[in-house]
Structure 1
Amino acid sequence: MADPHRFVNELDEEAHQRLIGRLESRAQVPIFSELFDKYVDQIDIKSSDKILEVGCGTGVILRSLSRRPEFTGTAFGVDQCPSFISAANKFAQDEGTDGRTSFQVGDVHNLIFDSGEFDIVIAHTVISHVTDPVEVLAEMARVVRPGGMVAIFDGDYASLTYACPDHSLGQKMDNALASTTFNNPKIMRDLPRLLPEMGLELTNAWGDAVVEIGDGSYFRTFAETYAPYVKRAGLFSEQAVDIWLGEQYRAMENGTFFAACNYYTYLLRRTAVVYQTPMADK
Protein backbone atom coordinates (compact mmCIF):
# COMPACT_ATOMS: atom_id res chain seq x y z
CA MET A 1 0.00 0.00 0.00
CA ALA A 2 2.36 2.69 -1.32
CA ASP A 3 1.41 6.38 -1.04
CA PRO A 4 1.68 7.59 -4.67
CA HIS A 5 3.03 10.97 -3.56
CA ARG A 6 5.66 9.43 -1.31
CA PHE A 7 6.84 7.14 -4.12
CA VAL A 8 5.97 9.50 -6.97
CA ASN A 9 9.34 9.05 -8.67
CA GLU A 10 8.58 5.36 -9.13
CA LEU A 11 5.44 6.15 -11.15
CA ASP A 12 5.25 6.59 -14.91
CA GLU A 13 4.60 9.84 -16.72
CA GLU A 14 0.91 9.07 -17.19
CA ALA A 15 0.50 8.75 -13.42
CA HIS A 16 2.42 12.00 -12.96
CA GLN A 17 0.02 13.80 -15.26
CA ARG A 18 -3.00 12.48 -13.36
CA LEU A 19 -1.50 13.70 -10.08
CA ILE A 20 -0.64 17.06 -11.61
CA GLY A 21 -4.24 17.37 -12.76
CA ARG A 22 -5.51 16.54 -9.29
CA LEU A 23 -3.22 19.10 -7.59
CA GLU A 24 -4.29 21.83 -9.98
CA SER A 25 -8.01 21.00 -9.98
CA ARG A 26 -8.42 20.87 -6.21
CA ALA A 27 -6.94 24.37 -5.93
CA GLN A 28 -9.82 25.67 -8.05
CA VAL A 29 -12.47 24.31 -5.67
CA PRO A 30 -13.59 27.24 -3.48
CA ILE A 31 -14.17 25.14 -0.34
CA PHE A 32 -10.51 24.09 -0.49
CA SER A 33 -8.80 27.25 -1.77
CA GLU A 34 -10.54 29.31 0.92
CA LEU A 35 -8.76 27.28 3.60
CA PHE A 36 -5.40 28.45 2.20
CA ASP A 37 -6.57 32.06 2.16
CA LYS A 38 -7.80 31.67 5.73
CA TYR A 39 -4.42 30.82 7.19
CA VAL A 40 -2.34 33.06 4.92
CA ASP A 41 -4.42 36.02 6.11
CA GLN A 42 -3.24 35.28 9.66
CA ILE A 43 0.47 34.90 8.89
CA ASP A 44 0.97 38.66 8.44
CA ILE A 45 3.12 38.40 5.33
CA LYS A 46 5.42 41.36 4.76
CA SER A 47 6.31 42.54 1.30
CA SER A 48 9.98 41.61 1.62
CA ASP A 49 9.50 38.16 3.15
CA LYS A 50 11.38 35.16 1.85
CA ILE A 51 9.04 32.16 1.83
CA LEU A 52 9.64 28.44 1.37
CA GLU A 53 7.05 25.76 0.63
CA VAL A 54 8.20 22.18 1.22
CA GLY A 55 6.58 19.57 -1.01
CA CYS A 56 5.28 22.28 -3.34
CA GLY A 57 3.91 19.94 -6.01
CA THR A 58 2.88 21.99 -9.04
CA GLY A 59 3.44 25.28 -7.22
CA VAL A 60 -0.22 26.24 -7.12
CA ILE A 61 -0.03 27.47 -3.51
CA LEU A 62 2.97 29.73 -4.12
CA ARG A 63 1.46 31.05 -7.34
CA SER A 64 -1.61 32.05 -5.39
CA LEU A 65 0.50 33.67 -2.70
CA SER A 66 2.64 35.56 -5.21
CA ARG A 67 -0.47 37.15 -6.74
CA ARG A 68 -1.33 38.83 -3.44
CA PRO A 69 -0.73 42.57 -3.78
CA GLU A 70 0.92 42.82 -0.36
CA PHE A 71 3.65 40.33 -1.28
CA THR A 72 6.63 41.47 -3.33
CA GLY A 73 9.21 39.12 -1.83
CA THR A 74 10.44 35.79 -3.16
CA ALA A 75 8.79 32.38 -2.79
CA PHE A 76 10.75 29.15 -3.18
CA GLY A 77 9.23 25.70 -3.69
CA VAL A 78 10.91 22.32 -3.27
CA ASP A 79 9.55 18.95 -4.36
CA GLN A 80 11.10 15.55 -4.98
CA CYS A 81 9.35 14.99 -8.31
CA PRO A 82 11.01 16.47 -11.44
CA SER A 83 7.71 16.28 -13.35
CA PHE A 84 5.98 18.36 -10.67
CA ILE A 85 8.77 20.94 -10.70
CA SER A 86 8.71 21.14 -14.50
CA ALA A 87 4.95 21.74 -14.34
CA ALA A 88 5.38 24.31 -11.56
CA ASN A 89 7.86 26.34 -13.60
CA LYS A 90 5.66 26.17 -16.70
CA PHE A 91 2.50 27.21 -14.84
CA ALA A 92 4.36 30.08 -13.17
CA GLN A 93 5.68 31.29 -16.51
CA ASP A 94 2.25 31.01 -18.14
CA GLU A 95 0.64 32.98 -15.31
CA GLY A 96 3.41 35.57 -15.10
CA THR A 97 4.41 34.75 -11.53
CA ASP A 98 7.84 33.33 -12.37
CA GLY A 99 9.56 36.57 -11.36
CA ARG A 100 8.48 36.04 -7.74
CA THR A 101 8.58 32.23 -7.55
CA SER A 102 11.35 29.70 -7.93
CA PHE A 103 10.94 25.91 -7.95
CA GLN A 104 13.56 23.20 -7.68
CA VAL A 105 13.89 19.46 -7.11
CA GLY A 106 14.92 18.57 -3.58
CA ASP A 107 14.39 16.30 -0.58
CA VAL A 108 12.28 17.91 2.12
CA HIS A 109 13.93 15.60 4.66
CA ASN A 110 17.30 17.20 3.88
CA LEU A 111 16.89 20.75 2.65
CA ILE A 112 19.85 22.42 0.95
CA PHE A 113 19.09 25.85 2.44
CA ASP A 114 21.00 27.57 5.23
CA SER A 115 19.68 27.63 8.78
CA GLY A 116 17.41 30.61 9.41
CA GLU A 117 17.25 31.51 5.72
CA PHE A 118 13.48 31.99 5.47
CA ASP A 119 10.92 34.23 7.15
CA ILE A 120 8.05 31.80 6.56
CA VAL A 121 7.96 28.07 5.81
CA ILE A 122 4.77 26.35 4.60
CA ALA A 123 3.83 22.68 4.46
CA HIS A 124 0.52 22.42 2.61
CA THR A 125 -0.87 18.86 2.47
CA VAL A 126 2.60 17.29 2.46
CA ILE A 127 3.27 16.09 6.05
CA SER A 128 0.70 13.34 5.50
CA HIS A 129 2.80 11.95 2.62
CA VAL A 130 6.44 12.17 3.70
CA THR A 131 8.59 9.23 4.77
CA ASP A 132 9.58 10.71 8.15
CA PRO A 133 7.44 13.60 9.46
CA VAL A 134 9.83 14.30 12.37
CA GLU A 135 12.77 14.84 10.02
CA VAL A 136 10.73 17.15 7.80
CA LEU A 137 9.45 19.18 10.75
CA ALA A 138 13.00 19.48 12.08
CA GLU A 139 14.21 20.76 8.71
CA MET A 140 11.39 23.27 8.52
CA ALA A 141 12.31 24.53 12.00
CA ARG A 142 15.98 24.73 11.02
CA VAL A 143 15.58 26.84 7.88
CA VAL A 144 13.13 29.37 9.33
CA ARG A 145 14.70 32.28 11.19
CA PRO A 146 14.15 32.80 14.94
CA GLY A 147 10.83 34.59 15.25
CA GLY A 148 9.79 33.40 11.80
CA MET A 149 6.54 31.60 11.07
CA VAL A 150 5.75 28.01 10.12
CA ALA A 151 2.35 27.04 8.70
CA ILE A 152 1.26 23.40 8.50
CA PHE A 153 -2.01 22.51 6.80
CA ASP A 154 -3.17 18.97 6.18
CA GLY A 155 -6.03 16.53 6.55
CA ASP A 156 -6.86 14.00 9.20
CA TYR A 157 -7.53 11.30 6.66
CA ALA A 158 -8.87 8.82 9.18
CA SER A 159 -11.93 11.10 9.04
CA LEU A 160 -12.27 10.78 5.25
CA THR A 161 -15.65 9.34 4.36
CA TYR A 162 -17.92 8.88 1.36
CA ALA A 163 -21.57 7.89 1.63
CA CYS A 164 -22.31 4.47 0.16
CA PRO A 165 -25.57 2.47 0.27
CA ASP A 166 -23.54 -0.58 1.25
CA HIS A 167 -22.20 0.72 4.57
CA SER A 168 -19.73 -2.12 4.97
CA LEU A 169 -18.22 -1.51 1.52
CA GLY A 170 -18.22 2.23 2.15
CA GLN A 171 -16.33 1.96 5.43
CA LYS A 172 -13.77 -0.39 3.94
CA MET A 173 -13.24 1.91 0.96
CA ASP A 174 -12.82 4.92 3.25
CA ASN A 175 -10.09 3.08 5.14
CA ALA A 176 -8.50 1.79 1.95
CA LEU A 177 -8.39 5.25 0.35
CA ALA A 178 -6.75 6.70 3.47
CA SER A 179 -4.16 3.95 3.80
CA THR A 180 -3.19 3.78 0.12
CA THR A 181 -3.09 7.55 -0.48
CA PHE A 182 -1.42 8.81 2.70
CA ASN A 183 1.68 7.49 4.43
CA ASN A 184 0.73 9.35 7.63
CA PRO A 185 -3.09 9.63 7.65
CA LYS A 186 -3.27 10.60 11.37
CA ILE A 187 -0.18 12.84 11.61
CA MET A 188 -2.14 16.01 12.40
CA ARG A 189 -3.19 14.40 15.68
CA ASP A 190 0.48 13.99 16.64
CA LEU A 191 1.64 17.56 15.99
CA PRO A 192 0.74 19.07 19.40
CA ARG A 193 3.10 16.51 20.94
CA LEU A 194 5.88 16.77 18.33
CA LEU A 195 6.13 20.48 17.59
CA PRO A 196 7.48 21.79 20.93
CA GLU A 197 10.49 19.48 20.50
CA MET A 198 11.30 21.30 17.26
CA GLY A 199 11.57 24.72 18.87
CA LEU A 200 8.23 25.69 17.34
CA GLU A 201 5.74 27.53 19.53
CA LEU A 202 2.07 27.17 18.68
CA THR A 203 0.41 30.56 18.11
CA ASN A 204 -2.90 29.38 16.65
CA ALA A 205 -4.61 26.23 15.45
CA TRP A 206 -8.04 25.27 14.21
CA GLY A 207 -9.96 22.69 12.24
CA ASP A 208 -12.27 22.87 9.25
CA ALA A 209 -14.51 20.26 7.67
CA VAL A 210 -14.39 20.02 3.90
CA VAL A 211 -17.83 18.74 2.94
CA GLU A 212 -19.64 18.27 -0.36
CA ILE A 213 -23.32 17.41 -0.29
CA GLY A 214 -25.50 16.91 -3.35
CA ASP A 215 -22.71 17.22 -5.90
CA GLY A 216 -18.99 16.53 -5.85
CA SER A 217 -15.99 18.37 -7.24
CA TYR A 218 -13.10 18.15 -4.78
CA PHE A 219 -14.06 14.64 -3.68
CA ARG A 220 -14.91 13.57 -7.23
CA THR A 221 -11.37 14.10 -8.48
CA PHE A 222 -10.00 12.59 -5.27
CA ALA A 223 -11.94 9.38 -5.90
CA GLU A 224 -11.06 9.28 -9.60
CA THR A 225 -7.36 9.86 -8.91
CA TYR A 226 -6.80 7.54 -5.97
CA ALA A 227 -9.33 4.69 -6.29
CA PRO A 228 -7.05 3.00 -8.88
CA TYR A 229 -4.37 2.74 -6.19
CA VAL A 230 -6.80 0.79 -4.01
CA LYS A 231 -7.08 -1.70 -6.87
CA ARG A 232 -3.32 -1.93 -7.25
CA ALA A 233 -2.88 -2.52 -3.52
CA GLY A 234 -5.11 -5.56 -3.83
CA LEU A 235 -7.38 -4.49 -1.00
CA PHE A 236 -10.48 -5.01 -3.14
CA SER A 237 -11.29 -6.62 -6.42
CA GLU A 238 -11.47 -4.27 -9.37
CA GLN A 239 -15.19 -5.05 -9.53
CA ALA A 240 -15.78 -3.93 -5.94
CA VAL A 241 -13.92 -0.65 -6.49
CA ASP A 242 -15.87 -0.04 -9.70
CA ILE A 243 -19.14 -0.69 -7.85
CA TRP A 244 -18.14 1.88 -5.24
CA LEU A 245 -17.15 4.42 -7.90
CA GLY A 246 -20.41 3.79 -9.72
CA GLU A 247 -22.35 4.58 -6.55
CA GLN A 248 -20.47 7.87 -6.22
CA TYR A 249 -21.20 8.86 -9.82
CA ARG A 250 -24.89 8.00 -9.44
CA ALA A 251 -25.11 10.02 -6.25
CA MET A 252 -23.58 13.04 -7.98
CA GLU A 253 -25.96 12.69 -10.90
CA ASN A 254 -29.09 12.50 -8.75
CA GLY A 255 -28.01 15.05 -6.13
CA THR A 256 -27.60 12.64 -3.21
CA PHE A 257 -23.80 12.73 -2.97
CA PHE A 258 -22.02 13.09 0.39
CA ALA A 259 -18.32 13.15 1.25
CA ALA A 260 -16.32 14.83 4.00
CA CYS A 261 -12.89 15.10 5.62
CA ASN A 262 -11.48 17.15 8.50
CA TYR A 263 -8.53 19.48 7.86
CA TYR A 264 -6.34 21.22 10.42
CA THR A 265 -4.08 24.26 10.43
CA TYR A 266 -1.18 24.90 12.80
CA LEU A 267 0.52 28.30 12.89
CA LEU A 268 3.81 28.34 14.75
CA ARG A 269 6.62 30.70 15.64
CA ARG A 270 10.23 29.59 15.73
CA THR A 271 11.87 30.09 19.11
CA ALA A 272 15.62 30.40 19.65
CA VAL A 273 15.86 26.66 20.35
CA VAL A 274 16.41 24.41 17.34
CA TYR A 275 15.57 20.72 17.48
CA GLN A 276 18.45 18.39 16.64
CA THR A 277 17.59 15.08 15.00
CA PRO A 278 19.25 11.95 16.39
CA MET A 279 21.23 11.70 13.14
CA ALA A 280 22.58 15.22 13.64
CA ASP A 281 23.78 14.36 17.16
CA LYS A 282 26.01 11.55 15.90
Structure 2
Amino acid sequence: MTDLYTRIRDQPRDALDTIAKSLNVRASEPAMQTICARYMAQIALPAGARVLEIGCGNGATTKLIMQHVRPAQLVGIDPSCVFIDMAGETFADEPGVSFAIGDAAATGQADAFFDLVIAHTVYSHLVDPEGALAEARRVLRPGGQLVIFDGDFATITVALFDGDPLQSAVGAVMRHMMHAPYIMRRLPALVTAAGFSVQSVEPHGYVQTTSPDFLLTLLSRGTSAAAHAGEIGQELVDGFAQEARRRVANGTFYGAILFLSLAARKDGR
Protein backbone atom coordinates (compact mmCIF):
# COMPACT_ATOMS: atom_id res chain seq x y z
CA MET A 1 0.00 0.00 0.00
CA THR A 2 1.82 3.13 -1.22
CA ASP A 3 -0.93 5.73 -1.66
CA LEU A 4 0.16 8.50 0.71
CA TYR A 5 -3.48 9.57 1.17
CA THR A 6 -4.14 6.31 3.01
CA ARG A 7 -1.50 7.51 5.49
CA ILE A 8 -2.46 11.18 5.48
CA ARG A 9 -2.33 11.46 9.29
CA ASP A 10 1.36 10.51 9.19
CA GLN A 11 2.45 12.96 6.51
CA PRO A 12 4.85 15.78 7.50
CA ARG A 13 3.71 19.38 7.30
CA ASP A 14 5.70 20.14 4.14
CA ALA A 15 3.99 17.25 2.32
CA LEU A 16 0.57 18.46 3.47
CA ASP A 17 1.36 21.99 2.33
CA THR A 18 2.28 20.61 -1.10
CA ILE A 19 -0.96 18.63 -1.30
CA ALA A 20 -2.99 21.67 -0.19
CA LYS A 21 -1.36 23.77 -2.91
CA SER A 22 -2.23 21.12 -5.49
CA LEU A 23 -5.84 21.00 -4.28
CA ASN A 24 -6.09 24.76 -4.64
CA VAL A 25 -4.63 24.62 -8.15
CA ARG A 26 -7.05 21.91 -9.23
CA ALA A 27 -10.10 23.68 -7.76
CA SER A 28 -9.15 26.95 -9.47
CA GLU A 29 -8.61 25.50 -12.94
CA PRO A 30 -11.38 26.57 -15.36
CA ALA A 31 -11.70 23.02 -16.71
CA MET A 32 -12.31 21.56 -13.24
CA GLN A 33 -14.59 24.43 -12.25
CA THR A 34 -16.71 23.71 -15.32
CA ILE A 35 -16.92 20.02 -14.44
CA CYS A 36 -17.83 20.77 -10.82
CA ALA A 37 -20.48 23.30 -11.85
CA ARG A 38 -21.99 20.68 -14.17
CA TYR A 39 -22.28 17.82 -11.72
CA MET A 40 -23.01 19.88 -8.62
CA ALA A 41 -25.76 21.85 -10.37
CA GLN A 42 -27.72 18.61 -10.75
CA ILE A 43 -27.93 18.15 -6.97
CA ALA A 44 -31.37 19.28 -5.74
CA LEU A 45 -31.73 19.72 -1.98
CA PRO A 46 -34.67 20.64 0.25
CA ALA A 47 -34.72 23.93 2.13
CA GLY A 48 -32.52 23.84 5.20
CA ALA A 49 -30.50 20.95 3.81
CA ARG A 50 -27.58 19.50 5.72
CA VAL A 51 -24.54 18.27 3.80
CA LEU A 52 -21.65 16.07 4.90
CA GLU A 53 -18.50 16.44 2.82
CA ILE A 54 -16.21 13.42 3.07
CA GLY A 55 -12.48 14.13 2.76
CA CYS A 56 -12.81 17.90 2.73
CA GLY A 57 -9.03 18.43 2.73
CA ASN A 58 -8.13 22.09 3.04
CA GLY A 59 -11.60 23.27 1.97
CA ALA A 60 -10.80 23.89 -1.70
CA THR A 61 -13.73 21.79 -2.91
CA THR A 62 -15.92 23.02 -0.05
CA LYS A 63 -15.92 26.43 -1.73
CA LEU A 64 -17.33 24.91 -4.91
CA ILE A 65 -19.98 22.96 -2.99
CA MET A 66 -21.12 26.09 -1.18
CA GLN A 67 -21.19 27.99 -4.47
CA HIS A 68 -23.18 25.46 -6.51
CA VAL A 69 -25.13 23.33 -4.01
CA ARG A 70 -25.82 26.07 -1.42
CA PRO A 71 -26.77 23.97 1.62
CA ALA A 72 -27.97 25.59 4.83
CA GLN A 73 -25.38 23.61 6.79
CA LEU A 74 -22.21 21.83 5.73
CA VAL A 75 -19.95 19.66 7.86
CA GLY A 76 -16.61 18.70 6.34
CA ILE A 77 -14.57 15.84 7.74
CA ASP A 78 -10.99 14.78 7.06
CA PRO A 79 -8.46 12.52 8.81
CA SER A 80 -5.82 15.27 8.81
CA CYS A 81 -6.00 17.78 11.65
CA VAL A 82 -3.75 20.08 9.61
CA PHE A 83 -6.26 20.13 6.74
CA ILE A 84 -9.13 20.64 9.18
CA ASP A 85 -7.34 23.70 10.59
CA MET A 86 -6.73 25.04 7.07
CA ALA A 87 -10.37 24.60 6.11
CA GLY A 88 -11.56 26.14 9.36
CA GLU A 89 -9.46 29.25 8.75
CA THR A 90 -10.85 29.59 5.23
CA PHE A 91 -14.48 29.45 6.45
CA ALA A 92 -14.01 31.20 9.78
CA ASP A 93 -16.64 33.81 8.88
CA GLU A 94 -19.30 31.34 7.68
CA PRO A 95 -21.32 29.96 10.64
CA GLY A 96 -23.11 27.38 8.50
CA VAL A 97 -19.84 25.61 7.67
CA SER A 98 -17.88 23.55 10.18
CA PHE A 99 -15.14 20.92 10.11
CA ALA A 100 -14.21 17.92 12.22
CA ILE A 101 -11.76 15.04 12.31
CA GLY A 102 -13.18 11.88 10.79
CA ASP A 103 -12.82 9.51 7.89
CA ALA A 104 -15.13 7.98 5.32
CA ALA A 105 -15.80 4.79 7.28
CA ALA A 106 -16.04 6.50 10.70
CA THR A 107 -17.42 10.00 10.31
CA GLY A 108 -18.38 10.54 13.94
CA GLN A 109 -21.71 12.04 12.83
CA ALA A 110 -25.25 11.25 13.98
CA ASP A 111 -27.57 8.68 12.41
CA ALA A 112 -29.94 9.85 9.65
CA PHE A 113 -28.88 13.48 10.02
CA PHE A 114 -27.82 14.58 6.53
CA ASP A 115 -29.67 15.20 3.29
CA LEU A 116 -26.54 14.76 1.18
CA VAL A 117 -23.21 13.00 1.56
CA ILE A 118 -20.71 14.12 -1.05
CA ALA A 119 -17.20 12.79 -1.69
CA HIS A 120 -15.03 14.58 -4.24
CA THR A 121 -11.97 12.56 -5.38
CA VAL A 122 -11.95 10.50 -2.18
CA TYR A 123 -12.97 6.96 -3.10
CA SER A 124 -9.88 6.38 -5.26
CA HIS A 125 -7.87 6.65 -2.03
CA LEU A 126 -10.05 4.46 0.21
CA VAL A 127 -8.92 1.09 1.52
CA ASP A 128 -12.49 0.17 2.59
CA PRO A 129 -15.05 1.59 0.14
CA GLU A 130 -17.72 -0.82 1.41
CA GLY A 131 -17.28 0.54 4.93
CA ALA A 132 -17.48 4.09 3.61
CA LEU A 133 -20.73 3.34 1.78
CA ALA A 134 -22.24 1.73 4.88
CA GLU A 135 -21.29 4.80 6.90
CA ALA A 136 -22.79 7.13 4.28
CA ARG A 137 -26.03 5.19 4.44
CA ARG A 138 -26.05 5.38 8.24
CA VAL A 139 -25.72 9.17 8.40
CA LEU A 140 -28.18 9.89 5.57
CA ARG A 141 -31.86 10.43 6.26
CA PRO A 142 -34.32 8.18 4.35
CA GLY A 143 -34.31 9.29 0.74
CA GLY A 144 -31.07 11.20 1.24
CA GLN A 145 -28.57 11.55 -1.58
CA LEU A 146 -25.07 10.20 -2.05
CA VAL A 147 -22.89 11.90 -4.66
CA ILE A 148 -19.42 10.59 -5.47
CA PHE A 149 -17.09 12.26 -7.93
CA ASP A 150 -13.76 10.68 -8.80
CA GLY A 151 -11.38 9.87 -11.58
CA ASP A 152 -11.24 6.68 -13.58
CA PHE A 153 -7.54 7.11 -12.98
CA ALA A 154 -6.58 4.10 -15.06
CA THR A 155 -7.33 6.42 -18.01
CA ILE A 156 -4.67 9.03 -17.15
CA THR A 157 -2.47 9.74 -20.13
CA VAL A 158 0.19 12.24 -21.08
CA ALA A 159 1.45 10.13 -23.98
CA LEU A 160 1.95 11.64 -27.42
CA PHE A 161 2.98 8.36 -29.04
CA ASP A 162 3.31 4.66 -28.30
CA GLY A 163 6.06 4.11 -25.75
CA ASP A 164 6.25 7.79 -24.76
CA PRO A 165 8.67 7.82 -21.79
CA LEU A 166 6.74 10.61 -20.07
CA GLN A 167 3.88 8.15 -19.56
CA SER A 168 6.17 6.35 -17.10
CA ALA A 169 5.67 9.31 -14.77
CA VAL A 170 1.95 8.44 -14.78
CA GLY A 171 2.90 4.97 -13.58
CA ALA A 172 4.58 6.56 -10.56
CA VAL A 173 1.43 8.57 -9.88
CA MET A 174 -0.68 5.41 -10.02
CA ARG A 175 1.58 3.53 -7.63
CA HIS A 176 1.98 6.29 -5.06
CA MET A 177 -1.07 8.57 -5.35
CA MET A 178 -4.02 6.25 -6.11
CA HIS A 179 -4.97 3.26 -3.97
CA ALA A 180 -7.95 2.29 -6.15
CA PRO A 181 -7.58 3.68 -9.70
CA TYR A 182 -10.42 1.47 -11.01
CA ILE A 183 -12.92 2.26 -8.23
CA MET A 184 -15.36 4.22 -10.39
CA ARG A 185 -15.78 1.19 -12.63
CA ARG A 186 -16.77 -0.91 -9.60
CA LEU A 187 -18.76 1.70 -7.74
CA PRO A 188 -22.26 1.29 -9.25
CA ALA A 189 -22.36 -2.35 -8.12
CA LEU A 190 -20.90 -1.50 -4.70
CA VAL A 191 -23.38 1.34 -4.17
CA THR A 192 -26.32 -0.88 -5.08
CA ALA A 193 -25.11 -3.63 -2.75
CA ALA A 194 -24.87 -1.05 0.05
CA GLY A 195 -28.60 -0.29 -0.15
CA PHE A 196 -28.70 2.70 -2.50
CA SER A 197 -30.55 3.22 -5.76
CA VAL A 198 -28.18 4.56 -8.40
CA GLN A 199 -29.78 7.56 -10.13
CA SER A 200 -27.05 8.46 -12.61
CA VAL A 201 -23.45 7.90 -13.64
CA GLU A 202 -22.14 10.74 -15.77
CA PRO A 203 -18.77 11.04 -17.58
CA HIS A 204 -16.68 14.22 -17.47
CA GLY A 205 -13.74 14.53 -19.81
CA TYR A 206 -10.77 16.50 -18.48
CA VAL A 207 -8.13 17.59 -20.99
CA GLN A 208 -5.28 20.01 -20.43
CA THR A 209 -2.83 21.29 -23.02
CA THR A 210 -1.79 24.92 -22.58
CA SER A 211 -2.11 25.34 -18.80
CA PRO A 212 -1.78 21.89 -17.19
CA ASP A 213 -0.83 23.17 -13.74
CA PHE A 214 -2.65 20.45 -11.79
CA LEU A 215 -1.32 17.64 -13.98
CA LEU A 216 2.20 19.00 -13.62
CA THR A 217 1.88 18.99 -9.83
CA LEU A 218 0.43 15.46 -9.95
CA LEU A 219 3.33 14.18 -12.05
CA SER A 220 5.82 15.94 -9.80
CA ARG A 221 4.37 14.49 -6.61
CA GLY A 222 4.14 10.99 -8.07
CA THR A 223 7.72 10.92 -9.36
CA SER A 224 9.04 12.50 -6.17
CA ALA A 225 7.29 9.78 -4.16
CA ALA A 226 8.86 7.16 -6.42
CA ALA A 227 12.29 8.67 -5.74
CA HIS A 228 11.59 8.71 -2.01
CA ALA A 229 10.68 5.00 -2.23
CA GLY A 230 13.99 4.30 -3.98
CA GLU A 231 12.40 3.30 -7.29
CA ILE A 232 14.10 5.99 -9.36
CA GLY A 233 16.79 8.62 -8.90
CA GLN A 234 16.38 12.36 -8.55
CA GLU A 235 17.93 12.85 -11.98
CA LEU A 236 15.01 11.02 -13.56
CA VAL A 237 12.51 13.02 -11.48
CA ASP A 238 14.12 16.21 -12.76
CA GLY A 239 14.14 14.83 -16.30
CA PHE A 240 10.41 14.09 -16.25
CA ALA A 241 9.71 17.60 -14.97
CA GLN A 242 11.97 19.17 -17.58
CA GLU A 243 10.33 17.24 -20.42
CA ALA A 244 6.83 18.13 -19.24
CA ARG A 245 7.75 21.82 -19.04
CA ARG A 246 9.39 21.62 -22.48
CA ARG A 247 6.17 20.32 -23.98
CA VAL A 248 4.13 23.04 -22.31
CA ALA A 249 6.55 25.68 -23.62
CA ASN A 250 6.44 24.44 -27.20
CA GLY A 251 2.72 23.71 -27.22
CA THR A 252 2.88 19.92 -27.46
CA PHE A 253 1.79 18.92 -23.94
CA TYR A 254 -1.33 16.76 -23.71
CA GLY A 255 -2.87 15.31 -20.57
CA ALA A 256 -6.29 13.75 -20.04
CA ILE A 257 -8.34 11.98 -17.37
CA LEU A 258 -11.89 10.64 -17.47
CA PHE A 259 -13.80 11.69 -14.37
CA LEU A 260 -17.19 10.28 -13.36
CA SER A 261 -19.94 11.49 -11.06
CA LEU A 262 -22.34 9.01 -9.47
CA ALA A 263 -25.59 10.04 -7.80
CA ALA A 264 -27.66 7.66 -5.68
CA ARG A 265 -30.43 7.69 -3.06
CA LYS A 266 -30.74 5.83 0.21
CA ASP A 267 -33.37 3.14 0.00
CA GLY A 268 -35.71 2.15 2.83
CA ARG A 269 -35.52 3.50 6.33
Could you state the TM-score of these two structures normalised by the residue count of structure 2? Answer: 0.93
The code of the aligned residue for 1:84 comes to F
- Equivalents in 1 of 2:103, 2:71: separation in Å? 26
**Equivalent AA in structure 2 for residue 173 of structure 1:** A
Provide the rounded CA distance (Å) in 1 between the counterparts of 2:181 and 2:41: 26
Residue by residue, what CA displacement relative to the aligned partner does 1:2-58 show, whole Å, maximum 9, x if unpaired? 212211121111111111111112100011122222122111123310000111111
Q: Secondary structure at the match of 1:230?
A: helix
Deviations 1:173-201 (A, max 9, x none): 22221121011111111112211111111
| SS across alignment from 2:125 | coil
User: CA 1:230/1:75 → structure 2, altered by over 3 Å: closer, same or farther?
Assistant: same
* Residue equivalent to 2:72: 73
Structure 2 unaligned blocks of 5 or more: none
User: Is 58-67 or 122-131 further displaced after alignment?
Assistant: 58-67
Corresponding residue number in structure 1 for 2:236: 240
Aligned to 2:207, the other structure's residue is in SS state strand
2:203 alignment partner in structure 1: 207
**Structure 1 unmatched runs, 5+:** 274-282
Instruction: Specify whether residues 49 and 163 from structure 1 end up closer, same or farther in structure 2 by C-alpha distance, changes over 3 A only.
Output: same
**Worse-matched range after superposition: 34-43 or 233-242:** 233-242
Shift in Å at residue 258 of structure 1?
A: 0.6
Contact 1:164 1:248 survives alignment (8 Å): no
**Contact 1:47 1:71 (C-alpha < 8 Å) held by counterparts:** no
Equivalent residues in 2 for 1:1-282 (5 A)? 2-68=2-68, 71=70, 73-93=72-92, 96=93, 98-163=94-159, 167=163, 169-272=165-268
- Report the Cα distance in structure 2 between the residues aligned to 1:66 and 1:199, rounded to whole angstroms: 27
Q: Distance in 2 between matches of 1:17 and 1:6?
A: 17
Structure 1 moving runs of 4+ over 3 Å: none
CA contact (8 A) 2:36 2:64 kept: no
DSSP-derived class of the 2:165 partner:
helix
- 1:71 is displaced (CA, Å) by 2.9
What do residues 68-120 of structure 1 show as CA deviations (whole Å, max 9, x unaligned)? 5x735100000000010000001112xx4x21210011122112122211000
State the partner residue of 1:280: none
CA distance in 1, matches of 2:165, 2:27: 29
Percent identical among aligned pairs is: 29
Tell me, in whole angstroms, the C-alpha distance in 2 between the residues paired with 1:71 and 1:170: 41
The size of the alignment, in residue pairs, is 269
CA distance in 1, matches of 2:78, 2:150: 17
Distance 2:72 2:162 in 1: 52
Is the Cα contact below 8 Å between 2:50 and 2:71 reproduced in 1? Answer: no
